[in-house]
Amino acid sequence: ASYASLGELLERSGDIVGAIEIFGQGANRKCPRCQSALGRHAFDQKVYDRARRWGEKAAAQGNASSQTRLGIMHRDGLGGEPDPERAVHWWQQAAQQGSRTAQYLLGVAYHEGTGTEKDRLAAILAREHGKTLADAQGEIQRGVEVAEFSIGVPHLMKGEDTEGAGPGIDLYSIR
């Protein structure tokens, strides 16, 4: 974390070359913030193969910024072939950590059916509440079941009557 903090300090002061050098030292020591920073700089410079390499290392360690950026690279085919399914995978990982950008991109992917099954209502839930597609679809199904039960409540409340259940037998139930 000290490499990342020092690199960020140098970056804010305008010493990008020094920052990248420090980030490189931290990245080689498996610091995910440093790896993410190197990926971000490479992405900004449009050196996508390097951005993807560092992004994958940081994303594998749970860095949400790298997961989001890696999803964009997979969606757009930057640094490799387009892979919309892989983009959705990375956005789901980042969205579960609270990344608003990843939640939005995931919602758009669900809405458009890019890399995942198209489901508009699930897309809205994913975009606005950061849910995965499976969670959103489960919530929708529960809502449908509640609505179906509610529609049938008046029938359950009225009771029943069966005339002629047998010779001289009529049945009545009152609720």
Question: What integer is the mean pLDDT of 83-90?
Answer: 94
Helix residue ranges per DSSP H, 29-132: 32-44, 48-60, 64-76, 84-96, 100-112, 120-129
Residue at token pair 């037998």: 169
Query: What tokens does 65 get?
Result: 């910024």
**pLDDT at residue 87, as a whole number:** 95
Report residue 117 CA to chain centroid gap: 14
pTM for the whole structure: 0.68
**pLDDT at residue 141, as a whole number:** 81
50 vs 43: CA distance, rounded Å: 8
Q: What is the CA radius of gyration of the chain?
A: 27
Task: Report CA dihedral (45, 48, 53, 55) to the nearest 10 degrees.
Answer: 70
pLDDT digits (tens, 9 = 90+) for 117-174: 667 677 777 778 877 778 888 887 887 787 677 666 666 666 667 777 778 887 767 6
